[in-house]
Amino acid sequence: MGKKKSSYEGLQKSVRSLKTPEIEVWENQYSDREYVIHLEIPELTCICPKTGLPDFAVIRLDYSPRKWCVELKSLKMYVLFYRDVGIFHEHLTNKILDDFVKAAQPAWAKIEVVMNPRGGISTTVNAEFIKKG
């Protein structure tokens, strides 16, 4: 009897091109000042691509805005998109950071995704972006 393949496994090869909702921004009136915005989203859910079971996580995102700040309702809708997406924790973290950086164009950004334990194992994935030049 062969191993049953999850319907989410194929996504992992094309995760960078996954079409996600737009993260909207608004113009920062203090772009001449360096400051940090800390966002915490305690209710991310996604699907394990191996088991098809739900995963739960907390997202912590810090960034230093330049011209743009992230509009929070659109970020909430972006995060809700992952509810039905089968994705590895590492891919999830990096995809969120990529999309966030593309939208906000910050001086730097750091993301930490803390997954609830699954199978007795806790996973935390950190990634960061630092603008070159």
Annotated active-site residue in 32, 46, 55, 84: 55
C-alpha to C-alpha distance for 108 and 127, rounded to whole angstroms: 11
C-alpha to C-alpha distance for 91 and 105, rounded to whole angstroms: 20
User: Residue 129 pairs with which residues in a beta bridge?
Assistant: 109
Annotated active-site residue in 46, 48, 69, 99: 48
Is-catalytic flag, 46? no
Determine contact, residues 25/66, Cβ cutoff 8 Å. Answer: no
Q: Which are the contacts of 127, defined by CB distance < 8 A and separation ≥ 6?
A: 93, 94, 97, 110, 111
The enclosing H or E element of 42 equals strand 37-47
Is-catalytic flag, 69? no
Enzyme catalytic residues: 48, 55
